Structure 1
Amino acid sequence: MDGLYVVATFSISTLFMSILWYIKTSQGRRANPPLPPGPLGLPILGYLPFLGNNLFQKFTELGHKYGPIYSISLGKKFCVVINSPSLVKEVVRDQDSVFANRDIPAVGIVATYGANDIVFSELNSKWRAMRKIFVQEMMNAKSLDASYNLRKDQVRTAVRQVHAKIGNPVEIGPLIFRTELKVMMSMLWGGKFEGEEGERIASEFLAVAPKLVDLFGKPNISDFFPLLAWLDIQGVKKQMETYMQIVDKIFETVITQHEMNLSGEIKEGKKDLLQILLEIQNKQDSEISISRKQIKAIFMVRALL
């Protein structure tokens, strides 16, 4: 009898909580202004059980069903998903001060050296300084023109690889992914790393980069239930820390070599972004400054996101 009483009490409590959750969720969607449409999911867990293994694919499917903006409960997190270029522009540019300071994924904190990049950093003076560096120094026409030959060299290499395999099947997906990463690495630090040394560093980074991308897209319980984050139940944070040890060694090697060659002559059209960042770091009278940790965090975001 005691066992039946416990089961009955638990069942009734669960049913009662489910009803309350449904009422609360329904009222939230009828709020003024109303919340975006979206799937209801389950109590406590929200829509987590239905996400599947591919988070981005599921979000795309829900976008087709609910439109360019929809809401979804993921554990303890209530999320609004933007699935339209015009809305993304509205959020990240026109209304950036309103939507700043978003929750940072556990892997994001590790990969960006404690949110020291321009994507995950809080909206403060440090973020404004990095944004200024991006706009005025890194993404202006002069800097992009200076790295033109670096980009051209990598594209030509990819074309030669395809040409060498005439009559044989070519896996375009991996080829494009590798080419994109090599183009990005050339823009970041390729001006000083050519030949065998450049290939070695590129190979090391390319070996770990897909694993980093996978971890960024992997649903993590720590993000949906912050109280459980310290447990790292899925071991996602630990995996990211392991990969970041490899990445950090690569970054340190590249930055150190650039610092040694900073006073050297720069080839025309071969000025990479690290050269620009180090020049800013070494300017005594500069209005903006950047730390070594911020440089490495910018590298991660620029290469992978």
Structure 2
Amino acid sequence: MKITGGGLNAYYSLGLLVLFVAWLLLFTIRPRSAKLLPPGPPALPIIGNLHMLGKLPHRNLRDIAQKYGPLMFLRFGSVPTVVASSPEMAEQFLKTHDLNFAGRPSTTVGKNMIYNSTDIGFSPYGPYWRTMRKVCVLELLSPKRLELLKFVRKEEICALIHSVTKCSLSGEAVNVSKLVSAMTTDIICRMAFGKKYCEEDLDSRGFKDMIKEVFFLSGAINIGDFIPWLEWMDLQGLRRRQKRCHNTFDAFFEMVIEEHVQKSNDESADNKDFVHVMLGLMENDDMEIKITRDNIKAVIFDMLGAGTDTSSATLEWAMSEMLLNPSMMRKVQEELENVVGLDRRVEESDLPRLDYLKAVVKETLRLHPPGPLLIPHESFHDCTVGGYFIPRKSRLIVNVWALARDPKSWEYADVFKPERFIGSPIDIKGQHFQMIPFGAGRRGCPGQSLALTVVEYALASLLHCFDWKLPDGMKPGDLDMTEEFGLSTPRSVHLVAVPTLRLKV
């Protein structure tokens, strides 16, 4: 039989197709390995298991784990990924194998938005990360610095109470979300930059909307991160948004740095703000790691983003739960009356004696963790976890939201019940893996003490000074409690409530 040129072309095309399909199967289907990988769902060609994440990945991954177990193996595009969904598995990765999983994967958001991942959150593990984290802890987040800057938190929370008081006297409803966001932004700006900035100093959209954009982009599932040969196409438009966001913040940070450069250097060591300290280190030739201007901007990017959105989101959820559970709100107010009284406002120094208030904040962080999925980790070496083989360069996702709702750890796991923490030894600082809202191990959040102080102090002040109810005759069951996914999970709609003044001092 004679084969024509057209027939040869057809055979050639078919051969290429077969080779292409074989290549896809080789690199995108779960490999058969002599070593036992964790269980997990079958992966599709090219995309792997990306289609299973949905709009709320923390919830979808929990549902998948109910079928395949608390340690799962998935393939997101070409990236091998393990998901830990129970306290036991989280402890294995973040304590037993902490050093091996201290790495960070390279991501487009780190490259395009956060100065080539030279911040603290997305920075690769190594000397640079250790140096910058140490500087942040010593110069902004140490107990000494937090005590020294206590007056900033007091002044800004007093300003918050003043704003709510004006609304209460006129009978207006209050946009709680906007007010607490402005308060946390002002606190971080004053602590890190030495002054407050107007909304318009950043962008016409303001701090809250821009920081919300940061957290959305940081948590978004970017196809280019998992299927590298598609990155150039920017199919979701995320790269363009990342670069626009970067340019907006870069212009703001340049303004902040220039203001500091132009100031005199006669401030005392205690009065120097964080940017002053970083500029001094940039000029220090004895530093093991040479700090650049972009490094400073990357770190203050972290300070502004992580220090504002997570705290304000936690406050929103705490106030939401109080409005859903008026009896618990009254219980907090009774404790405040007993400990503080009604002849003065609550102070930071009162917080250690407010056990029920602290329990409310812990329960809020359990049900509404500021980061439902920790920033992904990456393994340096092959290892064995739970009897399963985990290959090097595997991406690790710890589902904080799922382990904090694990019915094996918590009675009535989906119910808001602060009483569970009264007399409980469980803390939230990364030692008890039933709940780790600030992460754990080497990559745990260094700002947890500041965040807890701001949330507890602001919540105590709002409940001590005011009674609260929902507007327009709404009942607790009418309150929209849907969440919006990103690196954090704030409310999808702003919280609005009506305050009534109860403390006239």
User: Which structure is richer in relative contact order (CA contacts within 8 A, separation 6 or more)?
Assistant: 2
Q: TM-score range by the shorter chain?
A: 0.7 to 0.9
1:206 aligned residue: 208
1:171 deviation in Å?
Answer: 4.0
1:181 aligned residue: 185
Structure 1 gaps of 5+ residues are none
1:252 aligned residue: 254
2:280 aligned residue: 279
User: Which has the larger helix fraction?
Assistant: 1
1:304 aligned residue: 305
1:140 aligned residue: 142
Contact 2:199–2:207 (8 Å) recurs in 1: no
Deviating more after overlay: 130-139 vs 278-287: 278-287
Partner Cα distance (1:155, 1:139) in 2: 19
Quick one: which amino acid aligns to residue 52 of structure 2? Answer: F
2:154 aligned residue: 152
Query: Given the superposition, is the C-alpha separation of residues 271 and 154 from structure 1 closer, same or farther in structure 2, using an over 3 Å criterion?
Result: farther
2:30 aligned residue: 25
Structure 2 gaps of 5+ residues are 1-6, 307-505
1:106 deviation in Å?
Answer: 0.6
TM-score by length of 1: 0.76
Q: Where do residues 18-167 of structure 1 align in structure 2 (5 Å cutoff)?
A: 25=30, 27=32, 32=35, 34-62=36-64, 68-83=70-85, 91=93, 95-166=97-168, 167=171
Query: Given the superposition, is the C-alpha separation of residues 81 and 163 from structure 1 closer, same or farther in structure 2, using an over 3 Å criterion?
Result: farther
Query: Given the superposition, is the C-alpha separation of residues 107 and 170 from structure 1 closer, same or farther in structure 2, using an over 3 Å criterion?
Result: same
Partner Cα distance (1:64, 1:278) in 2: 50
1:266 deviation in Å?
Answer: 6.0
Partner Cα distance (1:85, 1:264) in 2: 50
Query: Given the superposition, is the C-alpha separation of residues 297 and 64 from structure 1 closer, same or farther in structure 2, using an over 3 Å criterion?
Result: farther
Partner Cα distance (1:45, 1:132) in 2: 39
Partner Cα distance (1:93, 1:297) in 2: 28
Contact 2:202–2:252 (8 Å) recurs in 1: no
Secondary structure at the aligned position of 1:73 is classed as strand
Secondary structure at the aligned position of 2:73 is classed as strand
Query: Given the superposition, is the C-alpha separation of residues 141 and 262 from structure 1 closer, same or farther in structure 2, using an over 3 Å criterion?
Result: farther
Query: Given the superposition, is the C-alpha separation of residues 95 and 265 from structure 1 closer, same or farther in structure 2, using an over 3 Å criterion?
Result: same
Report Cα offsets for 1:201-250 as digits up to 9, x if no partner.
Answer: 36743342211221122221101101221222222111111121111110
1:89 deviation in Å?
Answer: 6.7
Quick one: which amino acid aligns to residue 246 of structure 2? Answer: M
Partner Cα distance (2:290, 2:199) in 1: 31
2:470 aligned residue: none
Query: Given the superposition, is the C-alpha separation of residues 233 and 78 from structure 1 closer, same or farther in structure 2, using an over 3 Å criterion?
Result: same
Secondary structure at the aligned position of 1:215 is classed as helix
Partner Cα distance (1:129, 1:99) in 2: 19
Secondary structure at the aligned position of 2:109 is classed as helix
Aligned length: 290
Partner Cα distance (2:64, 2:110) in 1: 24
Quick one: which amino acid aligns to residue 122 of structure 1? Answer: P
Quick one: which amino acid aligns to residue 277 of structure 2? Answer: I
Partner Cα distance (2:259, 2:37) in 1: 52
Deviating more after overlay: 62-71 vs 240-249: 62-71
1:284 deviation in Å?
Answer: 5.2
Contact 2:46–2:77 (8 Å) recurs in 1: yes
Contact 2:120–2:132 (8 Å) recurs in 1: yes
Quick one: which amino acid aligns to residue 294 of structure 1? Answer: N
1:290 aligned residue: 291
Report Cα offsets for 1:41-76 as digits up to 9, x if no partner.
Answer: 423322222322333443454456655543322111
% same residue: 29
Quick one: which amino acid aligns to residue 184 of structure 2? Answer: E
Query: Given the superposition, is the C-alpha separation of residues 230 and 134 from structure 1 closer, same or farther in structure 2, using an over 3 Å criterion?
Result: same
- Alignment RMSD: 3.9
Query: Given the superposition, is the C-alpha separation of residues 151 and 58 from structure 1 closer, same or farther in structure 2, using an over 3 Å criterion?
Result: farther
Deviating more after overlay: 219-228 vs 42-51: 42-51
Secondary structure at the aligned position of 2:167 is classed as coil
1:140 deviation in Å?
Answer: 1.9
Contact 1:41–1:73 (8 Å) recurs in 2: yes
Deviating more after overlay: 44-53 vs 282-291: 282-291
Q: Which protein shows a greater Rg?
A: 2
